[in-house]
Structure 1
Amino acid sequence: MNSSKSSTSVMFAASADGNVLPPYIVYKAQNLYESWTIGGVKGARYNKSLSGWFDHITFGDWKLSHFVSSITFHLFFLPPNSTHMTQPLDVAFFRPLKGAWRKILEKWKMREGRKAASIPKDKFPHMLKDLMMKIEDNKAANVKAGFRKSGIYPLNRHEVLSRLPQMSDEIEATEAAEHVSRAVVEVLKDLRYSTTPNTQRKRKKIVVTAGKSVIGADFQAEEEETERQ
Structure 2
Amino acid sequence: MVIFKRKRMVPELADGAPPGSLVEISDTGYTNADLFVTWLQHFIAAVTPSKEDRVLLVLDGHTTHSRDLAAIEMARENGVIILQLPGHTTHRLQPLDVAVFKPFQVHYDQSVEKWLREHPGRTIGQFQVARLTGEGYGKAACVANAISGFKKCGIWPVDRNVFTMLILKAEKTKSTSGKQGR
Cα distance between partner residues in 2 of 1:168 and 1:97: 29
1:72, distance to aligned residue in structure 2 (A): 4.0
* Deviation by residue 1:38-74 (Cα, 9 ceiling, x = unmatched): 3322211111100100111101110012215531444
Cα distance between partner residues in 2 of 1:121 and 1:169: 41
1:78, distance to aligned residue in structure 2 (A): 2.5
Cα pair distance change 1:157/1:26, threshold 3 Å: same
| C-alpha contact 2:108 2:137 (8 A) present in aligned 1 | no
| C-alpha contact 1:40 1:129 (8 A) present in aligned 2 | yes
Per the alignment, residue 160 of structure 1 pairs with 163
In percent, how many aligned pairs have the same letter? Answer: 23
| C-alpha contact 2:3 2:24 (8 A) present in aligned 1 | yes
Cα distance between partner residues in 2 of 1:108 and 1:55: 31
Per the alignment, residue 170 of structure 1 pairs with 174
Is 2:28 the partner of 1:51? yes
Per the alignment, residue 16 of structure 1 pairs with none
Return the TM-score normalized by structure 1.
Answer: 0.56
Per the alignment, residue 26 of structure 1 pairs with 3
1:83, distance to aligned residue in structure 2 (A): 2.0
Cα pair distance change 1:80/1:47, threshold 3 Å: closer
Q: Which structure shows the higher helix fraction?
A: 2
* Amino acid of the structure 2 residue aligned with 1:170: K
Higher relative contact order (CA 8 A, sep 6+): 1
Is 2:109 the partner of 1:132? no
Per the alignment, residue 110 of structure 1 pairs with 117
Return the TM-score normalized by structure 2.
Answer: 0.69
Cα distance between partner residues in 1 of 2:146 and 2:111: 22
- Report how many residues are paired: 146
* Deviation by residue 1:97-151 (Cα, 9 ceiling, x = unmatched): 11111111111222326342xx322222222222233336xx2111101101101
| C-alpha contact 2:95 2:149 (8 A) present in aligned 1 | yes
Cα distance between partner residues in 2 of 1:109 and 1:158: 45
Is 2:88 the partner of 1:81? yes
Q: Which runs of 5+ in 1 are unaligned?
A: 1-23, 174-229
Cα distance between partner residues in 2 of 1:135 and 1:76: 24
Cα pair distance change 1:112/1:71, threshold 3 Å: same
* Amino acid of the structure 2 residue aligned with 1:96: P
Cα pair distance change 1:71/1:140, threshold 3 Å: same
| C-alpha contact 1:86 1:160 (8 A) present in aligned 2 | no
| C-alpha contact 1:27 1:49 (8 A) present in aligned 2 | yes
* Amino acid of the structure 1 residue aligned with 2:159: N
Cα distance between partner residues in 2 of 1:32 and 1:87: 31
**Rg larger in 1 or in 2?**
1
Cα distance between partner residues in 2 of 1:82 and 1:44: 26
1:168, distance to aligned residue in structure 2 (A): 5.2
